[in-house]
Amino acid sequence: MHFDNQLSVVSILAFLCFLSGCAQKVEKSAEASRPNILIILTDQQTNDAISYLGNPHLTTPAMDQLAAEGTYFTESYCTSPVCGPARSSLITGRMPHETGVVWNSTHIDSSVPTIGHLFQRQGYQTAWVGKWHLPLSYPAKNNADSVSGFKVIPFQSLDEAWDLGEDTDGPIADAAVNYIRDHNGENPFLLAVSLHNPHDICHVPRRPDEYARAHELDELPPLPPNFEIAEDEPEFLAEKRLMDHYGDELLLTKDYTPDDWRAYLYHYYRFTEMVDKEIGKIMEALKSKGLDENTIVVLTSEHGDGAASHRWAAKLSLYDEAATVPFIIRWNGHIPSGRVNRDQLVSGMDLAPTLLDYAGVESDVRFTGKSLKPVLEDPDKTLREHLVVQLADDKLDSGRHARMIRNRRYKYNLYNQGERNEQLFDLWEDPGETHNLAYKDSYQPLKDELKAALSTWIRDSGDPFLDWRPLPEGSSLSR
């Protein structure tokens, strides 16, 4: 009897151990099934600077392959055509006025969690390598070991200045490759790889002796169809063209000839090809490690570049070249491949909620952005009716602000100072934004409709746009 009892106890213990082992295996299996996440950021890449969409003046095989394996959103906008503000939105799912980063060199509000924090709480290894800009440009240069929910992966620039992508992007990509190769698989990772180029284009007008001039180059890309400056361009933008500090590329290109602008485009495309090569190295490492099947990969950029359209260099405008960015998302077997979505209005602030949604990470955070998962699964759904972009273009004159709102077809820009401070464009008929309809009588009802939608956005999101400065007479918004 005593022996039988011992057997029963042993049997029960063995059964409990079996259950415990099964539970551990289930737990480990669930852990292993959670996707890794790889975010690849370029800097200052306009939506057209990729060969996948048919631009014949550059070749970007790594980006093209990502796009072919995933979904490319063409109507993708940054939240602000300024580095820090746009970046803060990408990692928080909020607009710049909500993150506290309206200008560069600003910390994210400590009460606003980043995706690093949110994924970290769910057991993800979260790491950041490369450019940060919130506020440090390169935390690795300052030996920081962590930033806002991310472990900083060290790397060393090839030049002490750390100001050129040609010196930082190779080491950044190598550090990302090493991180992927060393990943032990115990916990999924969220790795953000923040590359610098094609941002080096900023230095072409600043350091003209270091880059080939038009007459030294054999083949130059053509000028864009919207190359010339409109006679009725807002005074706000005309003033920006003459500033000698932030955005000084505009002043430095003021006397550019058409061939100078073609050389500008030539270099811009070469810088984009340079960063594409580094992206290729990272994707090859992911594949070699056997992680490409269960890794969500997103490629996007902080903001675009004027790319010679409207004779505009750099960012800091609401023209589409500066405000649009590539947005590619890929997860084999889960996200449609080879799809180009030209219908949905996508914002940089959609990145964070999208990644949490696909990874099954629950959070009580209230995002301003929206998950793209519903429209990736059913493209006939509508993500949003309107999209807003903010602009604060001069920290030294903190009263200068502008807002853009667009629906599927029309785009309205409002500047809070200067003459001719409204723009309205029909993006289907006039994608180059060359014909301002804001002051044409027949378009006043449409303009009023977009202004009303912008007023609603400002009210509902707590946007302080109307607090900065009274709008010029005739262009006020309803409160």
Q: Quickly list DSSP for 322-384.
A: HHB--EEEE-TTTS-SSEEE-S--EEGGGHHHHHHHHHT-------SS--SHHHHH-TTS-S-
Instruction: Say whether both 83 and 180 belong to one domain.
Output: yes
Q: How many domains, in total, are found in the chain?
A: 2
Among 316, 342, 375, where does a domain finish?
375
Residue 3: the pLDDT is 40
pLDDT for the residue 478? 64
Domain extent at residue 359: 34-375
Say which CATH number the domain at 68 has: 3.40.720.10
Residue 75 to residue 61: CA distance in whole angstroms: 21
Q: Name every residue whose Cβ is closer than 8 Å to that of residue 302 and which is 6 or more positions away in sequence.
A: 41, 42, 43, 44, 78, 83, 86, 87, 90, 325, 348
- Please identify which residue in the block is written with the tokens 């006679």: 231
Last residue of a domain, one of 343, 375, 407: 375
Sign of CA dihedral 291, 292, 298, 300: positive
Same domain, 156 and 248: yes
Domain end position, chosen among 338, 353, 375 = 375
pLDDT at 346: 98
Q: Compute mean pLDDT per 10 residues along the chain, 479 residues long, and list them.
A: 46 46 43 86 97 98 98 98 98 98 94 97 97 96 96 97 97 98 95 98 97 96 98 97 95 98 98 98 98 97 98 97 98 97 98 97 93 97 98 94 98 96 98 98 97 96 88 73
